[in-house]
Amino acid sequence: MPHHTVFEAKIEHLQILDETGKLDKKLAKDTLNNDQVVYLYEQMRICRALDDIAFKLQRSGRMGTYPQNKGQEANAVGSALAMVKGNDWIVPSYRENAALFMHGMPMHMVIQYWMGDERGSQFPDGVNITPLSVPIGTHMLHATGIAWAMKQRKVKDAAVITYFGDGATSEGDFHNAMNFASVMQVPTIFYCQNNSWAISLPREQQMNSATVAQKAIAYDMPTIRVDGNDIFAVYKATCDARKRAIEGGGPSFIEGVTYRLADHTTADDASRYRDPKEVEAWVERDPLIRTRMYMESVGVWDDKKQEELDTRAETIVKEVINAAISVPEPDKADFFNYMFKEIPEDLKIQRDTMRTTSIGRNPSQIGLKAQPAEAH
């Protein structure tokens, strides 16, 4: 047979809860119950409240920068609920706060981190989360490595999920991680939050593919595109991917189509490159609005409950901010104490003298000035 088709593929799109809050009951079967929906809505609302306060902290000069999660929260909460807390691993980028909180990261730590305090990455024991990753795409390699270690150690019923944006799929590290995960068939879930913008570059100008999900086809990886503002679709897709992973089916790719309603970070001004009409259209698809409409339609939510939640969210966020800003200043010796398990002798001298090694050993060198160069 000299000429024949050797490969064909298709990408499925999944939506269960539409923009008006209408649920497809058939597709929703065996996904989320109403108690879980309420819980996820509460997590999104609290995360949104934290975003608002963090923005004000930055604008008042008490935080260097901050990337708001606003508009993308459904991706985080839906997928986080599908993963098993304390068992699976979360390898985040920097726009998945709600998922981190749901898996045990103390909320004040994310504020510490963005205030420049690295102790915000020192999570309690048993919290299976890696530190936030600002470099684009590098952490996907870590996720694949963790999953490979699980497989090598024959760890059962555990998987790794890693989050990243559409822009990260244009990075070499993304392809390295995807290829390795596929070849080694490790239990990794690659979750792309496609919010259409890699900072100021629209998706259409950084890739020529119709979807992000189809990039996984090159690695023979199961892939799906979901409505990323639909907690039901996100939850189901992640559950399916996790089940495949722990049963030895290898990695999966999920593209959650969403939108960041705020700037890329507080150092950005998205109004300079985004059409206001585009933003307005996505405001109507806000996952919080959609989820609330659904809850109200089935009688599990009303204005009184919303008012109570708003008050609770405000109280929680105030406590979180107070905890973050009241943390004692770090000891200068911590730089050395946490760098090595066993500190080398020369670094002990630097730590104890707070001088470079040579000056620490010979304090008489302190204050020496460079001699002027001889005239030629």
Its domain, for residue 134, covers 13-325
Same domain, residue pair 212 and 361: no
Q: Are 228 and 75 in contact (CB under 8 A)?
A: yes
The pLDDT assigned to 353 comes to: 84
Determine, yes or no, domain membership for 358: yes
Strand 197-198 and strand 201-202: pairing?
antiparallel
Same domain, residue pair 149 and 232: yes
* The pair of three-digit structure tokens given for residue 353, joined into one six-digit string: 């003298």
Same domain, residue pair 232 and 354: no
Q: The CATH number of the domain where 163 resides is what?
A: 3.40.50.970
Q: What is the mean pLDDT of the chain?
A: 93
Instruction: List, in order, residues 6 or more apart from 82 with CB less than 8 Å away.
Output: 234, 235, 238, 239, 242
Query: Confidence band (pLDDT; 50, 70, 90) for 338?
Result: confident
The pLDDT assigned to 305 comes to: 98
Query: Among the options 45, 103, 139, 264, which is catalytic?
Result: 264
Same domain, residue pair 321 and 208: yes
- pLDDT single digits (tens) 134-148: 999 999 999 999 999
Average the pLDDT over 33-62 and give the result. Answer: 96
- pLDDT single digits (tens) 238-290: 999 999 999 999 999 999 999 999 999 999 999 999 999 999 999 999 999 99
Determine, yes or no, domain membership for 374: no
The pLDDT assigned to 354 comes to: 83
Determine, yes or no, domain membership for 2: no
pTM beyond 0.95: the answer is: no
Tokens 């659904």, located at residue: 294
d(CA 331, CA 372): 38
Sign of CA dihedral 263, 274, 162, 175: negative
Determine, yes or no, domain membership for 376: no
Same domain, residue pair 348 and 244: no
Same domain, residue pair 271 and 218: yes
Q: Please tell me which of 60-69, 331-340, 363-372 the model is most confident about, judged by mean pLDDT.
A: 60-69
- In the residue annotation, 264 being an active-site residue is answered as yes
d(CA 10, CA 124): 43
Determine, yes or no, domain membership for 3: no
Same domain, residue pair 358 and 279: no
Is the pLDDT confidence value at 364 over 80? no
d(CA 323, CA 250): 41
The pLDDT assigned to 345 comes to: 86
Same domain, residue pair 321 and 361: no
Determine, yes or no, domain membership for 316: yes
Q: Are 223 and 160 in contact (CB under 8 A)?
A: no
Q: Are 136 and 162 in contact (CB under 8 A)?
A: no
Determine, yes or no, domain membership for 265: yes
- pLDDT single digits (tens) 191-200: 999 999 999 9
Average the pLDDT over 20-47 and give the result. Answer: 98
Residue 145 burial (CB < 10 Å; 0-12/13-18/19+)?
Answer: middle
d(CA 121, CA 334): 14
Average the pLDDT over 213-225 and give the result. Answer: 98
Determine, yes or no, domain membership for 1: no
- In the residue annotation, 273 being an active-site residue is answered as yes
Kindly report the number of other CB atoms within 10 A of residue 289's CB atom: 15
Query: Among the options 59, 119, 273, 361, which is catalytic?
Result: 273
Same domain, residue pair 241 and 132: yes
Number of structural domains in the chain: 2
Q: What crossing angle do the helices spanning 287-297 and 73-82 adopt, rounded to 10°?
A: 60
End-to-end CA distance of the chain: 83
The pLDDT assigned to 374 comes to: 54
What is the Cβ-side half-sphere exposure of residue 39, based on CA atoms within 13 angstroms?
Answer: 13
d(CA 254, CA 234): 9
Same domain, residue pair 90 and 52: yes
The pLDDT assigned to 363 comes to: 56
Same domain, residue pair 257 and 344: no
- For the stretch 148-153, contacts whose Cβ atoms lie closer than 8 Å and that sit 24 or more positions apart, written own/partner, are 148/180, 148/181, 148/184, 148/186, 150/186, 150/187, 151/184, 151/185, 151/186, 151/187
Same domain, residue pair 246 and 98: yes
d(CA 127, CA 141): 20
Query: Among the options 48, 260, 274, 290, which is catalytic?
Result: 260
